[in-house]
Chain A
Amino acid sequence: MDQITPADEARPPVRNTPVISVRGLSKTYDGGFEALKKIDLDIRQGEIFALLGPNGAGKTTLISIICGIVTPTAGEITAAGHNIVSDYRAARYKIALVPQELATDAFESVWATVSFSRGLYGRPPDPALIEQILRDLSLWDKRKEKIMNLSGGMKRRVMIAKALAHEPDILFLDEPTAGVDVELRRDMWALVRGLRERGVTIILTTHYIEEAEEMADRIGVINNGELIIVEDKATLIKKLGKKQLTLNLQEPLEAIPTELSEWSLALKAGGAELEYTFDVNDEHTGVPSLLRRMSDIGIGFKDLNTRQSSLEEIFVSLVRRPQ
């Protein structure tokens, strides 16, 4: 009998040790469709990682493979240092999944189904913990209710409760906030942050970019089965973001004067606004020189504001590349 000591103490001193490591992962479905193409990815201990990508990009496929629901065509994956195939028991012991699709037992009570999950993952019963989880997710009043009598949002919370019931170190949330009301979404964000504070690593997918912007430490963008970028959120926004300076002119312009042709400018609002787009990384942005030149040639402005492009704009520009 091989006794394995799971790595509570393996919370490593070096924060950058990957808690999940994916190498050369490919998946071709039975029909011949190539859903993932040679994915390499490291998830760091304790981070919130947001996986973004359009419908059919391969997000769910990637998560399903790591969790053992789909078999990979090629590649190696370790979770918490354990190979997910040869040492699946130790790996899965650490992992929880809230899948994208709502799948619950209709006739079971909330309490029974959440307790079931804890047992299934090899943990001894702990009613106090289950109570705490149900209270945190506002399900305590519904604990005796059959799941089929719950609303869609409540069912999603039940699925989250099931995943939390076995105290995972790594939590996958596949579109946790799809079809969820504003309040529950805020609750969910709070919950995810709380989990991260307790050291849980969280990998989530979402189509709400502002969610990733709000929550994630790092962001990966997947498109057509390829991981096109993995970056710290701040770096990503800084690196790929553009800044815009908008000047509200005193007198509308018909056209951009030739004296200003050095700067990439555009006229907006029927000539009442002058818009200057520049790269954030560019040390020499040219804003002071632009303003100086404008006053030299007598173009005055009433007001100005600058704006940084959102993650959403970055995302759209990334995935809208020619195929």
Chain B
Amino acid sequence: MSETLPAFNTHGVFAIYRFEIARAARTILQSLLTPVITTSLYFIVFGAAIGSRIDEIGGVSYGAFIVPGLIMLSLFTESLSNASFGIYFPKFTGTIYEILSAPISAFEIVLAYVGAAATKSIILGLVILATARLFVPFEIAHPGWTIGFLVLTATTFSLFGFIIGVWAKSFEQLSFVPMLVVTPLTFLGGAFYSIDMLPPFWRTVALFNPVVYLISGFRWSFFGEGDVGVAVSLAATLGFFTLCLVIVWWIFRTGYRLKS
């Protein structure tokens, strides 16, 4: 009997992918219900209570205006926590030995972990979108772009999360970047307002915040208008994506914090 060794370890990628999806399925309540409830609370507070006193922004009601920002906020945090935990936990428990000694390439490992994390966030993003639709009426101007930005952002932040998971040496470090960098940048990045509403000086400062570009592009796909042009948004998102790819490539080339 002669078996052939395929050049791509499909079974291996699926094994990790399924494992990661199963992990989320075990905690389906946490994985889905928590973000949905949080988002609903945002809608009640910002959309209904405060939003009713805020004028339309660029012809869009405030309640609808915050939808893309809220989805992005969840997408960032969930992709980061999912992907970082996915790779950190085997490091923590020691089960990483099996991944490291398996006939599976770095690309396949990343594909499986990042793919699973991105899948989960995309599903989550769509669930939040559906939840939001229950609270406020809105139309999506460019649904193709909405999906495109959703997938690209989920993938990019899952890659970023993977990097954090490899880098982290403790559970504190694991939540450090999401809590202290990403969430503030998102809040300041126009999730809840247009940066046009800022005074000129702060507007310039805001343009240094990368998250502005990510949210702007996504919002453009909804309402046909964003803080910056869609091409700039797309370029920024792709740029961040490439940066993450390069770092991941470096991690596997050097074995950084994966191998001693």
Interface residues of A (CB under 8 A from B): 1-6, 8-9, 29-30, 67-71, 88-93, 95, 97, 99, 101, 103-108, 112, 115-124, 162
* Interchain CB contact under 8 A, A106 and B93: yes
* Interchain CB contact under 8 A, A122 and B97: no
* Interchain CB contact under 8 A, B5 and A92: no
Per-residue A-contact encoding for B1-24, CB less than 8 Å = 1, 0 else: 111111101111011101100110
Residues of B within 8 A of A162 (CB): 98
CA distance A91 to B102 in the complex (A): 10
Contact of B3 among A6, A88, A115, A121 (CB under 8 A): A6
Residues of A within 8 A of B102 (CB): 92, 120-122
Identify 10 new A-B residue pairs, CB closer than 8 A, beyond the known A67-B100, A122-B103: A5-B3, A71-B260, A89-B5, A103-B97, A104-B95, A106-B93, A116-B18, A121-B12, A121-B102, A122-B9
CA distance A93 to B3 in the complex (A): 11
CA distance A112 to B26 in the complex (A): 13
CA distance A122 to B11 in the complex (A): 5
Q: Which residue of A lies closest to B4 (CB)?
A: A3
Q: Which residue of B lies closest to A92 (CB)?
A: B103
* Interchain CB contact under 8 A, A101 and B94: yes
* Interchain CB contact under 8 A, B4 and A4: yes
Known: A4-B4, A116-B19. A89 touches B103 (CB 8 A): yes
CA distance A127 to B15 in the complex (A): 15
Known: A71-B255, A122-B5, A124-B11. A93 touches B26 (CB 8 A): no
Closest CB-CB distance, B161 to chain A, in whole Å?
20
* Interchain CB contact under 8 A, B11 and A5: no
* Interchain CB contact under 8 A, B260 and A70: yes
Residues of A within 8 A of B26 (CB): 107
Residues of B within 8 A of A123 (CB): 11
Known: A4-B5, A90-B103, A162-B98. A120 touches B15 (CB 8 A): yes
How many of B's residues come within 8 Å of A, CB to CB? 34
Residues of B within 8 A of A99 (CB): 94, 97
What are 6 contact pairs spanning A and B, CB under 8 A?
A5-B4, A67-B100, A116-B18, A119-B11, A120-B11, A120-B98
Asked if B105 CB lies within 8 Å of chain A CBs, one says: yes
CA distance A251 to B105 in the complex (A): 76
Interface residues of B in 92-146 (CB under 8 A from A): 93-95, 97-105
Residues of B within 8 A of A112 (CB): 19, 22
* Interchain CB contact under 8 A, A119 and B15: yes
* Interchain CB contact under 8 A, A97 and B11: no
* Interchain CB contact under 8 A, A122 and B104: yes
Closest CB-CB distance, B259 to chain A, in whole Å?
5
Q: Which of A6, A88, A119 is most buried by chain B, counting CB atoms within 10 A of its CB?
A: A119
Q: Which residue of B lies closest to A101 (CB)?
A: B94
Closest CB-CB distance, A236 to chain B, in whole Å?
30
* Interchain CB contact under 8 A, A92 and B95: no
* Interchain CB contact under 8 A, A93 and B103: yes
* Interchain CB contact under 8 A, B98 and A117: yes
Known: A69-B100, A89-B105, A106-B93. A9 touches B2 (CB 8 A): yes
CA distance A2 to B4 in the complex (A): 10
Residues of A within 8 A of B259 (CB): 69-71
Q: Which residue of B lies closest to A27 (CB)?
A: B260
CA distance A118 to B103 in the complex (A): 11
Residues of B within 8 A of A105 (CB): 93, 95
* Interchain CB contact under 8 A, B100 and A68: yes
CA distance A171 to B95 in the complex (A): 18
CA distance A258 to B177 in the complex (A): 84
The 4 A-B pairs with the shortest beta carbon distances in the complex, nearest first, are: A119-B15, A103-B94, A92-B103, A67-B101
Q: Which residue of A lies closest to B16 (CB)?
A: A120
Closest CB-CB distance, B87 to chain A, in whole Å?
14
Q: Which residue of B lies closest to A2 (CB)?
A: B7
* Interchain CB contact under 8 A, A103 and B101: no
Closest CB-CB distance, A27 to chain B, in whole Å?
9
Residues of B within 8 A of A118 (CB): 11, 15
CA distance A105 to B100 in the complex (A): 16
Residues of B within 8 A of A89 (CB): 5, 9, 103-105
CA distance A165 to B119 in the complex (A): 28
Closest CB-CB distance, B54 to chain A, in whole Å?
45
Closest CB-CB distance, A162 to chain B, in whole Å?
7
Residues of A within 8 A of B100 (CB): 67-69
